[in-house]
Structure 1
Amino acid sequence: MSDDIKPEIRRAPPRMRWPGERHVAVVFNVAYEAWTEQGASAIGPMGNPLRPGVFDLNADSYGRYGANVGIRRLMTILDRAGIAANVYVSGVLSERDPDRVRAVAVAGHEIVTHGYAQDLVPASLTPEEDEDYMRRATTGLAKVIGAQPTGWISPRATAGVDTFRRLVRHGYKWQGDALDDDLPYLQTYPEGALVAVPLAIELNDLSHAMRWGRTPRQFVDMFDEALSHLLAATDDVVILDVLCHAHCYGRPAGAWAYDEIAKKCADRQDIWVTTRGKIADHFLSLL
């Protein structure tokens, strides 16, 4: 299955709105990630590079924080706010910490398959590897949470040539690797259809803090400014993502910012606080 078949695309209908005639959907996202035993986070807190071939134990330890500690803190924050989030789960965590993965699902969050491990980016895998790791991630998570995951976001949000076609074959309903639109659209392949639910990348704690060196206060301020302007643009129907990595803003000095944004959104009636799965369902209901 490597014919690089382009899908037939069906865009959102004109004048599409979110439920309640709202035009801004806000999605809270948590990246709950892990790496293979041979891999490590590509991003760590130390700026000086190691010589080639040296395994970065510092970055490895940094990445492990999310599964060890950060995920619990972020789940507590969302529980207090009464918000159900999209939680991107590396499939390997269904083997390493099934009880924690199950607890996230039982708490009402939408489990999104986030590949098998973060150092296994589909675009860098052979077709056989992509198929194998997708199967292992999907079956592992399904066994732990007791249901087939319906949503997928690749590590690095970077699919391979045929990843989406494989997702259809494995029973997925939607994917979040798209960055090329504001609204969902339907991708139809020979194997079937898949909803692309685009990912808004502006409020991403990892790039915000690790790449640009911005502060948690700036994270909150960016959200406030974005939401204010989006609500004023009443003809522009959009998704606003707030993405927190359990190993980055799952730490105490950053988690308060995620907490503050969650509190700001919890009881608002002028936005739709939702998940990608619900966005996909709403979009399909309008076709």
Structure 2
Amino acid sequence: MSLPGHGRFDYAPINARPDFLWPGGKRLAVYLGINLEHFAFGAGLGAELAPGGPQPDVLNYAWRDYGNRVGAWRLIELLDRLKLPATVLANSAMYDHAPELMAAHARRGDEIAGHGRTNSERQSTLSEADEAALIAEATDVLTRETGRRPAGWLSPWIAESAVTPDLLREAGYGYTLNWCMDDQPVWLRTRSGPLLAVPYPQEVNDIPAIVARKDGPAAFADMIGDTFDEMLEQSESQSLVMGIALHPYIVGQPFRLRHLRHALAQIEARRDRVWITTAGAIAEAFAATSGAPGNGRREAG
């Protein structure tokens, strides 16, 4: 029986791949993906703290906007205290809604990656032309505001059409965070050349953990710490990537932030053994080590 497939990459066991090292001879690369998102008022998609009623859904809109007004600033204070870099996954609408917040991350030197226009929409529901226009609009805003084209992309809601990787490659992106199938970067085939998939977590991610599964703050912090400890042991034999996905309107709440601080301090304390970096730096290092395959080459890891 032959099932429909995507054709983007081939199966390759994690323990049967060429060996490589991260910069500094490190085996485990760790990055923080900070999602900065703006939502339409009275329309569109959005995570919910409680079941929403008729629009305008003031409760859930205001809960999400707490992240931009308060939670994200508390998270920056935490990152500064621990001297941790971040990859900011930014809706382009953030530059109109909260320019001071985007400027604060720019001053830190954080990587700014594309995350669509707003998380009130999914690009997977659009025609190919309209999806290409969405990517172009978001990319143009980030390029204008930061002075450089973003290297990476995370689709709002991790939503892809059948041609999203092709459109990203054609828009000049070097890596995507949409695919969560591995602990190492994986080259994807597109119609215009290879695109790198950098691991982005769907388990160590506060949306599935806290919003969907209703895990408490201590449980989420334990999840981060246990994943780090286990992957540090696993990485003794091969180089791996650990991502941590955070949304300030969730982990920026005071009772969650206190637990997150302990978990991130646990990682920072092992800085001598791990490479704490950005998703973009991981993509660059892996591409330099492995070399991008030809578009027709069957390459998985």
| TM-score in terms of structure 2 length | 0.85
Between the aligned partners of 1:120 and 1:183, the Cα distance in structure 2 is 29
What is the count of residue pairs matched by the alignment?
281
The answer to whether the Cα contact below 8 Å between 1:41 and 1:63 also exists between their aligned partners in 2 is: no
Answer yes or no: is the 8 Å Cα contact 1:35–1:118 preserved in 2.
yes
Among 19, 22, 25, the alignment partner of 1:18 is: 22
Counterpart Cα distance in 1 of 2:147 and 2:43: 29
Query: Aligned in 2, Cα 1:125/1:270: closer, same or farther, shift over 3 Å?
Result: same
Query: Aligned to 1:276, which of 265, 279, 300?
Result: 279
**1:66 corresponds to 2:67:** yes
Aligned to 1:235: 237
| Percent pairwise identity | 24
Contact 1:150 1:174 in 2 (8 A): yes
* 1:57-90 CA distance string (max 9 Å, x none): 2111111112222211111111111111111111
Q: Is it true that 1:260 corresponds to 2:238 in the alignment?
A: no
Please tell me whether the aligned partners of residues 8 and 189 of structure 1 are also in contact (alpha carbons under 8 angstroms): no
1:107 aligns with 2:111: no
Contact 1:101 1:144 in 2 (8 A): no
| SS, match of residue 123 in structure 1 | helix
Report the Cα distance in structure 2 between the residues aligned to 1:64 and 1:197, rounded to whole angstroms.
28
Deviation at 1:278, TM superposition (A): 0.9
* Structure 1 CA distance for aligned equivalents of residues 215 and 190 of structure 2: 41
DSSP-derived class of the 2:194 partner: strand
For 1:185-238, what per-residue CA distance to the aligned partner results, in whole angstroms no more than 9, with x for missing partners?
Answer: 222433233211121222112222222222211222222222222222222432
Distance in 2 of aligned mates of 1:242 and 1:190: 30
**Runs of 4+ residues deviating >4 angstroms:** 4-13
* Alignment match of 1:44 (pick from 42, 45, 48): 48
Native 8 Å contact 1:122 1:155 kept in 2: yes
Which deviates further from its counterpart, 165-174 or 5-14?
A: 5-14
Q: 1: distance between equivalents of 2:117 and 2:155?
A: 9
Cα distance, 1:283 vs structure 2: 0.8
Greater mean alpha carbon deviation, residues 249-258 or residues 4-13 = 4-13
Instruction: Please state whether the residue corresponding to 2:250 is helix, strand or coil.
Output: coil
Instruction: Indicate the SS of the match to 1:67.
Output: helix
- AA aligned opposite 1:137: A
Q: Shift of residue 27 of structure 1? A: 1.2
User: 247-256 vs 4-13, which deviates more?
Assistant: 4-13
The answer to which of 265-274 and 152-161 deviates more is 265-274
One-letter code of the match for 2:279?
R
Q: Does structure 2 retain, via aligned residues, the 8 Å contact 1:41–1:62?
A: no
The Cα of 1:151 is off from its aligned counterpart by 0.8
- Whichever residue aligns with residue 75 of structure 1, its letter is I
Which one-letter code corresponds to 1:247 in the other structure?
Y
For 2:40, the aligned partner's letter is T
Given that 1:111 and 1:149 are in contact with CA atoms closer than 8 Å, whether structure 2 keeps it comes out as yes
Tell me whether 212-221 or 136-145 shows the greater mean CA deviation: 212-221
Provide structure 1 residue ranges, at least 5 long, that are not aligned to the other structure: none
Q: CA RMSD in A?
A: 2.3
- Specify whether residues 40 and 77 from structure 1 end up closer, same or farther in structure 2 by C-alpha distance, changes over 3 A only: farther
CA contact (8 A) 1:9 1:186 kept: no
The residue type paired with residue 208 of structure 1 is A
Distance in 1 between residues matched to 2:59 and 2:238, nearest whole Å: 44
| Ranges in structure 2 where 5+ consecutive residues have no aligned partner | 292-301
Contact 1:26 1:274 in 2 (8 A): yes
